[in-house]
Structure 1
């Protein structure tokens, strides 16, 4: 544990588990496929120059030294500047294109579809303005849908070698330019801190684990299995990093690693001790658990039933607020256009365009069946799902919401928003809600 990690040569494994999930398919699913967006665990892959949002100004200011700020740092320092709230890390609508004739794509009418694609290609570019870049990625995805090459593209994407160091640098760019991840962590950490202030022993069960007189801390890190013989390698990597931080800050620490399909986890796997304060943390990862549109018995509801069985003192739930989980292609396509028009507009204002990419579009447009692993629901739909599963929603801590809102207003672009609705803290861009967070408790039977 004392040895320094070789981040430059260590591959980033965060795509692998979803690649495995997408390729576990029926013969029907071979007809389509796609790729998966890195942001759920490590933020957007934006490498290179970026902008610093200082506390003293409302908008972005030029900051030349930040482009290579991680060069020359040792591995511990790199993690500190990326993951900790330190002074070295200061930042922790145009109309969508026309979507006529998508019926041709839905029905695989290749002649009409190819004619329309040719027209789209005349007006799109990966290097153009926001709308042109978005049209480029949607055109790529439509082409893959027609050609049936999604699985090959997805597999190629998952096998790309991206070092852990590059992912950390990309994540640092992301949290500096965009508040969503950092403010989500502040919301979760402050909420846990208020709840566990008097606790002598805390057990955090983290679905979608990432590194994030003290009490004894026990963490159960859960993630999807990776392909191959070392299916729990990513979860174990996180254990080693957390252990180093806990040793550094003198926190007694235990860790239980689980790499399984989440709906197959049993209560006994979690090693519950009823003398501990129990916290469930699940930020933005249930999007990748299949629902009733894929299987008659929804794995998504199975996970919620497991969480209710655990009987946590609090269940912190972060969701990706998107409405493109329809089984009907045209509906899904239109909703994705509206959503990504906001995202690309946001990226245009905050991140250099040459460093942007969106593989999530490929998965949404080119995939059907179990190959489609991006399955978001709006927060109102999650609210009903959680209530049906036997949870009641807790009021938001107003001091935490005020702190998050003040940080976003002070440090980030003026068009980012923080709002509240029915016990949800909402984050978004120019009036469109992109993420939502809330706290829940199981209702006694």
Structure 2
């Protein structure tokens, strides 16, 4: 099996020596079981039984049934060891999240709440290795890079606005591709939103200023000039200051070095970021400054407007050459805890299932990997309001948002699809690729995981 090496560090993914790429772990059972009754604890370890126990526990917490909630938490604690198989570890993580929620609801003593503040802060080398472990992020990197090359052909300047959960880890791969395809490489301008994901894993242990220096030096090693700019902006207000910064740049008709806008291709790269923008309607958000600061006077803000949709309309106003949207294909937005738990459980079994194919038990990388999944699960289950930021939406809903913002989808080329397939060949069997309309979807054992889409102004 060919081992991928991220250009930032040239470290190959860690492989589980006991598992080769032709071995596929057992398929997750999907039949729905009823609430277990007289069976012994050893028979309650079935995935469906554990899911039903979690659902009943969530119901008990929501209805303030303290006795039932505590009983179910006790049962789960005995059948879902945190060091068990993938299904047990999944259930154990949901158990911790429900215990945390029960403590918040005063159903348990605060001292009984688990301490989940063990998220690792990565060095650049560690993070590059981390995102290379599975196609979860590489899928989007590969598809996006191919789409960017096609959309920016003939431009002497490529301005990439990188809104990414992975702290610019895609950029070295883009630099490598650009360097290999151009005799005279274009100038690359990179704009990022600083202060965005300081509290969301994966976390970085250095400032964006330091990261920018590393990226500039890396680009120089590939004979490419890279200009880096970090704009203080955050997802809570729909990246208002970033949008304003980009709008001022365009109004001045100048780039960073004074070149006319017509020679510059604008690329908006959204990699697993947009679902952090609040999806509630603006009736629950301070909108005093939104009209004048984030959106132009032609934008219509109503009581049913979503900040996500308004953000996309503001991107359309920038008239980008291409917008790349990559995100997880799930729905974690329900206001109902039980519905949200069921959706999360039936999606987040995937990373637990895949981890056994590439990381041995007890490794630090596996602890970091599962701690990040655990952070997501706790945020989805234990928190509400502005603290619940993991509000993933499925592909079809993002399609509706993009079309409403006056974007049209564009299909990935055959070459782009071939590159993604070649990348998947470097990973364990079980990963797959399928096309849905103009978009492509990463799958694990046939289940949708991540989608990648490219959009042009309509």
Q: TM-score range by the shorter chain?
A: 0.7 to 0.9
Q: Which residue of 2 aligns with 1:136?
A: 92
Larger radius of gyration: 2
Q: Which residue of 1 aligns with 2:51?
A: 98
Decide whether aligned partners of structure 1 residues 378 and 348 sit closer, same or farther in structure 2, where only a CA change above 3 A counts. same
Q: Distance in 2 between matches of 1:309 and 1:136?
A: 46
CA contact 2:408–2:456 (8 Å) conserved in 1: yes
Q: Which residue of 1 aligns with 2:339?
A: 331
Decide whether aligned partners of structure 1 residues 226 and 135 sit closer, same or farther in structure 2, where only a CA change above 3 A counts. closer
**How far did 1:130 drift?**
0.8
Higher relative contact order (Cα pairs below 8 Å, separated by 6+ residues): 1
Q: Distance in 2 between matches of 1:403 and 1:333?
A: 35
Q: Distance in 1 between matches of 2:399 and 2:153?
A: 28
CA contact 1:91–1:175 (8 Å) conserved in 2: no
Residues 288-367 of structure 1: matches in 2 within 5 Å? 288-292=276-280, 295=285, 297-354=305-362, 355-356=366-367, 357=370, 358-367=374-383
SS of the residue corresponding to residue 396 of structure 1 reads: coil
Decide whether aligned partners of structure 1 residues 157 and 342 sit closer, same or farther in structure 2, where only a CA change above 3 A counts. closer
Q: Which residue of 1 aligns with 2:209?
A: 236
Corresponding pairs, count: 359
Q: Which residue of 2 aligns with 1:59?
A: none
Decide whether aligned partners of structure 1 residues 419 and 152 sit closer, same or farther in structure 2, where only a CA change above 3 A counts. farther
Could you list the per-position Cα deviations for residues 416-439 of structure 1 after superposition, in whole angstroms to 9, with x for gaps in the alignment? 111110111101211111110010
Q: Distance in 2 between matches of 1:375 and 1:192?
A: 27
Q: Which runs of 5+ in 1 are unaligned?
A: 1-53, 57-79
SS of the residue corresponding to residue 357 of structure 2 reads: helix
Q: Which residue of 1 aligns with 2:12?
A: 89
Could you list the per-position Cα deviations for residues 76-114 of structure 1 after superposition, in whole angstroms to 9, with x for gaps in the alignment? xxxx9544495x536993234332413112233222111
Q: Which residue of 1 aligns with 2:229?
A: 256
Decide whether aligned partners of structure 1 residues 155 and 149 sit closer, same or farther in structure 2, where only a CA change above 3 A counts. farther
Q: Which residue of 1 aligns with 2:241?
A: 265
**How far did 1:223 drift?**
4.0
Q: Distance in 1 between matches of 2:103 and 2:89?
A: 21
Q: Does 1:210 align with 2:163?
A: no
Q: Give the TM-score normalised by structure 2.
A: 0.71
CA contact 1:222–1:257 (8 Å) conserved in 2: yes
Residues 166-177 of structure 1: matches in 2 within 5 Å? 168-169=125-126, 171-176=128-133
Decide whether aligned partners of structure 1 residues 381 and 112 sit closer, same or farther in structure 2, where only a CA change above 3 A counts. same
User: Of 188, 192, 206, which residue of structure 2 is paired with 1:221?
Assistant: 192
Q: CA RMSD in A?
A: 3.1
SS of the residue corresponding to residue 281 of structure 1 reads: strand
